[in-house]
Amino acid sequence: MSRDFNMVLAGFGGQGILFAGKVIAYGGLNDGKEISWLPSYGPEMRGGTANCSVCISDKTIGSPLVLTPDVLIALNLPSFEKFIDTVKPGGTVIIDSFLINKKVEREDVNVFYVPATKLAEENGIKGLANIILVGKLFKETGFCTEEALYKAIEKCVPARKANMLEFNKKAIEIGMNS
């Protein structure tokens, strides 16, 4: 059964929001889906807000801008507060519960609290909370095949950072198991 995904990933600049979105998009592309990836930066990159819209579909994508996502990944409180009410009923919300101490009050969405920043630090992969949440997203939605996801990581980690490849794969596995 195929399913379309319209996602918003959001957090502070420097948390790897755009990189995580790119990994998700390449996962869909590797499975032969139509994809779009649309980054959006706040006034300043590092420390400002960053978000991106990712669409994965079997059909042509009309607009890359996602206004009513069926998936929200939030890595900070301002992003959580900005986007939580835009998620479609029945949608999936994945929250870095180490950085966001609020609970979702809506009862019409599936919520997963993952202390991703803490898990990354405890596992010696500081800075990869974003990819831990991608692993959780994969486990809960199956937005692409597992093979496509690992190929996406290999595609997105640049050659100059080849040493980070195994850390990113470890982060996916931590997310899948959380």
Confidence at residue 171, expressed as pLDDT on a 0 to 100 scale: 98
C-alpha span between 72 and 74 (Å, rounded) = 6
Look at residues 115, 118, 113 and name the one whose alpha carbon lies nearest to residue 72.
113
Residue the block writes with tokens 């050659």: 159
Q: Are 78 and 49 a contacting pair, CB within 8 Å? A: yes
C-alpha span between 145 and 62 (Å, rounded) = 24
Domain that holds residue 58: 5-176
**Residue 13 pLDDT greater than 90, yes or no:** no
> How many domains is the chain partitioned into structurally?
1
Q: What 3-state class would DSSP assign to 6?
A: strand
pTM above 0.75, yes or no: yes
Confidence at residue 3, expressed as pLDDT on a 0 to 100 scale: 84
Handedness of CA 64, 70, 72, 73 (dihedral sign): negative
Amino acid at 37: W
CATH number of the domain to which 121 belongs:
3.40.920.10
**What phi and psi, each to the nearest 5 degrees, are found at residue 36?**
-145, 150
Q: pLDDT class for 2, splitting at 50, 70, 90?
A: low
pLDDT in tens, 97-124: 999 999 999 999 999 999 999 999 999 9
- pLDDT, mean over the chain: 94
pLDDT in tens, 28-54: 999 999 999 999 876 655 566 799 999
